[in-house]
Copies of this chain bind each other. A is one copy, B any other.
Amino acid sequence: MKTNLKPTTCLAPVPAVMVTCGDEIENNIITLAWVGTVNSEPPIVSISVRYSRYSLPLIERTGEFTVNLVNQNLLRAMDICGVVSGKTQDKFALTGLTRIKGVQVKCPYIGESPVALECKVVRRTDFGTHAVLFGEIVNVIADEEYVKDGKLNLPNGLLVAYQNGNYTATGETLGTYAFTAKDIRK
């Protein structure tokens, strides 16, 4: 039996990430789930930031941001970075996360994040509550243990997702894209 519900932001699972922004002088960490991949070549992601957030003018000023993927060890720090404001607190100091100088962008990345995507803003669009910033991925920084033959090779269950108000674990691989192709073509 089906039922109709009031429209809400219930797409799930979505990524749970920490975005870093700013430069060496002034920078911040913002926890976001309204992020996604929007283009393959070149690789472009979108991040949606509420207009009231301290991070938005930092991103506007440099035209850059870094998406730090989150593993279970980072869960508590990620939640803290979604609860307090960079206006009044240095979130790196508060969480103990390691601030590392960016490689291709001015904003720092989080040393404890297994994978960081350095991005340059290429376009923006604005909706009612959120600014949507599109960032071309210009560099990927990964822990060496998660790289194999020059490509990312993340273990099952490493990353964290977000689903209707909760942080959710990821689990086993269920299949590889196109696993049905050989049957279909028969």
Stoichiometry, as copies per complex, reads 2
Contact of A2 among B79, B136, B141 (CB under 8 A): B141
Q: Hey, which chain B residues are within 8 Å of A163, CB to CB? A: 154, 159, 170
| Chain A residue total in the interface (Cβ 8 A) | 96
Q: Hey, which chain B residues are within 8 Å of A58, CB to CB? A: none
**What separation, in Å, do the CA atoms of A39 and B119 have in the docked complex?**
21
Q: Hey, which chain B residues are within 8 Å of A154, CB to CB? A: 12, 163-164
Chain A facing B: main interface SS? strand
Chain B proximity of A119: nearest CB distance (Å): 9
Please give the residue numbers on chain A whose beta carbons come within 8 Å of chain B beta carbons, in ascending order.
1-15, 17, 33-46, 48, 50, 67, 69, 72, 75-76, 79-80, 82-84, 94, 100, 103, 111, 115, 117, 123, 125, 127-130, 132, 134, 136-144, 147, 150-152, 154, 156-157, 159-181, 184
Known contacts A4-B141, A10-B137, A82-B178, then 9 further A-B pairs from the complex at CB < 8 Å, ordered by chain A residue: A5-B151, A7-B136, A8-B152, A11-B15, A39-B130, A79-B179, A80-B180, A167-B173, A169-B170
